[in-house]
Amino acid sequence: MNFLIVGLGNIGEEYLETRHNVGFKIVDALAGQNKASFALDRLAHYASYKTRGKNVHIIKPTTYMNLSGKAIRFWMQELKIPAPQMLVILDDLALPFGILRMKAKGSDGGHNGLKDIDATLGNNNYPRMRFGIGNAFQKGTQVNYVLGKWSVEEMKELHTKIDLACEATNSFMFEGLERAMNKYNT
């Protein structure tokens, strides 16, 4: 069985350690745990590995967050992967730091990456995992917060929270979405 794991983020040094790029950080960790390395390919950095009878394909779109749908559609078609076997991993302001929320489908919740994916695919029927980045910002400073670096306190726990997100991703692939949701939606 084939899976497509998508980490959302923005390319470029200035975005590297920002909250908005947690999707990239999670798939980087997943690839690292499985000794897979990324190479620049069509519309994305791409890595793949085999584990326990599964072919796992990982992408980090190079289209910037707000145009993620184009890369996802290309790789879904290229690899012939149906939506239920894809997991999109992204940041979420509405969740406290490090809290995970997996769903089979849903609204974009104001997330521009999901808005573009929904528009490009023509629906919102695909699994996603939201990683909470909290909302500790003053009114009018949301963009600076999302595109800002992790706080010192967050950095102390980030590695552990990312490992948990990798566990949840593995659970999605090996146990199915329902079980993963029951285990990791806190």
Nearest to 95 by CA among 3, 186, 184, 4: 186
Spacing of C-alpha 57 from chain mean position: 13
Residue tagged active-site, from 20, 45, 57, 111: 20
Q: Is residue 20 flagged as an active site residue?
A: yes
Angle at 1 between CA 101 and CA 63, to 5 degrees: 55
Q: Which two tokens mark 76?
A: 């879904």
Tell me the HSE value of 132 on the side-chain side, using a 13 A CA sphere. Answer: 18
Tell me which residues are annotated as active site: 20
